[in-house]
Structure 1
């Protein structure tokens, strides 16, 4: 485990694979930590420099007070990649992680040569929807959203397995301040215009059973970027890397080959 201390925030990150290999960066969803990618990592090619991190307010990263902006989340990723001297990475972002990917690609094209927008969008939900969710968390904790969130995150078949409890527990144990802060960041983000100006290889991934970012929403965002490709993973919800890791890794590995990253 490593901590990058940027003064206003401390970011927990992990390095796996070949320290001299081509960099592959993962950013996870609201309510999860870097373990989200555990099922996929063993299925990736050898020789990659794999970088994972907990965004602010999640996992073992620090929890600054107040609402977070998407700009601060993007800046955290930017500073971490500068700290690690990363250039020309493939950046894989899921949900809010995919929003961070879009923002970072607009800001720092030297850091990202290609990206995977997984179960995400240029704009997710509405400010009123996020305000309602944040109010529920302030009243009843993250637990108040847990059941409804599991229904959006996972297919019915997966929710009937014991494994769903692992992800439910991960969600409700995130710091409340960090969860609320990231809800604020999503609520205030509309990347339709900046994302439509991007010109880099992009793979979009959606889950057929995703109740948070339905396939049509993901496709709409991916279609903003000329030359992008969209893939649908069937029998999976918002976290297809958990439900269908083999299929997810197959799509990711093919994209890495197509872009000349491996």
Structure 2
């Protein structure tokens, strides 16, 4: 299995699609893994060389104990690009992955062609919110946070309509190492990019589910106001994992943006 030794850990990744096409790097949310992007693979593989990876603390990547930071997670992404010899890439990240994308485009503008930020935020306070989730995970394991997470991530109609898709994500949450979940919660808890993202120059698309209770459309608008020329697409009848709940609309919006002349 392909692992890259980067930034002090082993990072799992997969490459698919058009090997001679432009590169698209996908970054997963908290408590998921690279398979959260499975619904996009058929469409994205036709147009791009797609690189997916399991974030530090998730999936088949290492999950060291201790608090992580958004800068650490960003350094992981840069290390993976360096390992693969990729000088410049499109980037698409959801939730935590979008937080990494913001930092990547801020600190390493030469590495980012076009930027897609999905169901994410530049600041996720207050800190007490994260203390509660961390304590639940540390005392009850991921079973202690899974039900509330599923309720935030999918609307009730979708949960009833597609229980198989929901079950797949539930399994990802339950299989996330507690150390990795807690480490990334600490990274989000300590993040504040509201001022720094004003330096982003990459063409940017922001995508958010209209019914996302976590990273709301209001938070998406806050990012849009900070990044010059950023576009905002709000997907109807979708909560936090809008790429799954509104797969076709999500794919169409991202592809139209990435392929625009």
Same fold at TM > 0.5: yes
Q: Please report how far the alpha carbon of residue 218 of structure 1 lies from its aligned counterpart in structure 2 after TM superposition.
A: 1.3
2:115 is the counterpart of 1:79: no
2:58 is the counterpart of 1:41: no
| Residue segments in structure 2 that go unaligned for 5+ positions in a row | none
Q: Which runs of 4+ in 1 moved over 3 A?
A: none
2:229 is the counterpart of 1:227: yes
Give the structure 2 partner of residue 4 of structure 1: 4
Aligned residues of 2:109 and 2:201 also touching (Cα < 8 A): no
2:121 is the counterpart of 1:150: no
Mapped partners of 1:15, 1:107: distance in 2: 25
Give the structure 1 partner of residue 202 of structure 2: 200
Give the structure 1 partner of residue 163 of structure 2: 162
Mapped partners of 1:34, 1:222: distance in 2: 26
Q: Secondary structure at the residue paired with 1:192? A: coil
Give me the TM-score of the superposition, normalised by structure 1. Answer: 0.95
Give the structure 2 partner of residue 253 of structure 1: 255
Aligned residues of 2:90 and 2:114 also touching (Cα < 8 A): yes
Q: Please report how far the alpha carbon of residue 165 of structure 1 lies from its aligned counterpart in structure 2 after TM superposition.
A: 1.8
Q: Please report how far the alpha carbon of residue 193 of structure 1 lies from its aligned counterpart in structure 2 after TM superposition.
A: 1.0
| Residue segments in structure 1 that go unaligned for 5+ positions in a row | none
Mapped partners of 2:142, 2:45: distance in 1: 36
Q: Please report how far the alpha carbon of residue 88 of structure 1 lies from its aligned counterpart in structure 2 after TM superposition.
A: 2.6
Aligned residues of 1:8 and 1:64 also touching (Cα < 8 A): no
Aligned residues of 2:211 and 2:240 also touching (Cα < 8 A): yes
Give the count of matched residue pairs: 259
What is the CA deviation profile of residues 52-103 of structure 1, one whole-angstrom value per residue up to 9, with x for unaligned ones?
0001110000111211111110100011011112123110010000010011
**Aligned 1:1-262 pairs, distance under 5 A:** 1-6=1-6, 8-44=8-44, 46-160=46-160, 161-163=162-164, 164-258=166-260, 260=261
Give me the TM-score of the superposition, normalised by structure 2. Answer: 0.96
Aligned-pair Cα RMSD in Å: 1.2
Mapped partners of 2:36, 2:47: distance in 1: 21
